[in-house]
Amino acid sequence: MSAPRIGVLALQGAFREHIRSLRRCGADAVEIRTREDLDGLSGLVLPGGESTVMGKLLTEWDMMDRLRGLIRDGLPVFGTCAGLILLCTDIIGHPGQPRIGLLDASVRRNAFGRQVDSFTTDLELSPFPAVRPLEDRPAPMRAVFIRAPLIERTGTGVEVLARVNGLPVAVRQRNILAVSFHPELTADLRLHQWVVDMAEAG
């Protein structure tokens, strides 16, 4: 069985670390820079970076509608930090910002503070259905927050997987997994493995 082809959006942001993590999970991880690169994917990662820049480039380079259609049709997608922002239906204070808008949630950009306010913490990650269940994997998960967004509202179809001070920082809605932090900066591969497992099952 060939390795699943997982794309990492590489228009801007911290995509190289995601590539490394996915390859450690056995995926054929590739950089996504054009509309044509989206063909033949089994899964996708939207990395951290500048959500405004990513959204603008996705629109200008005619990738946004194609990307939205793939996710709507069931492509497993994992968004971290800026990737989470792009996935949400509502970006508080920025109604005109281009976004994919398929995750039924409201998000506030940089809500945890500036770069100097970055922090790490241990999260208790709730088990959630996946091809390879997370129940048998060690907890907690070390999470790195850098200019992190805050999820202020989630829809009825959105499952909250982890919280910080009672606030959601990891959520899942069907084929969409999104977090406020940067799992690619740690050695914990559980969330990247979810993308690979879902891609292999699809």
How many residues in total does the chain contain?
202
Active-site annotation holder among 25, 182, 192, 200: 182
Active site residue 25: no
Angle separating helix axes 190-201 and 16-24, nearest 10 degrees: 70
Active-site annotation holder among 81, 88, 192, 200: 81
Burial class (CB in 10 A: 0-12, 13-18, 19+), 156: exposed
Angle separating helix axes 51-60 and 64-72, nearest 10 degrees: 100
Active site residue 88: no
Distance CA 48, CA 44 (A): 13
Active-site annotation holder among 18, 88, 184, 192: 184
Distance CA 50, CA 20 (A): 21
Active site residues: 81, 182, 184
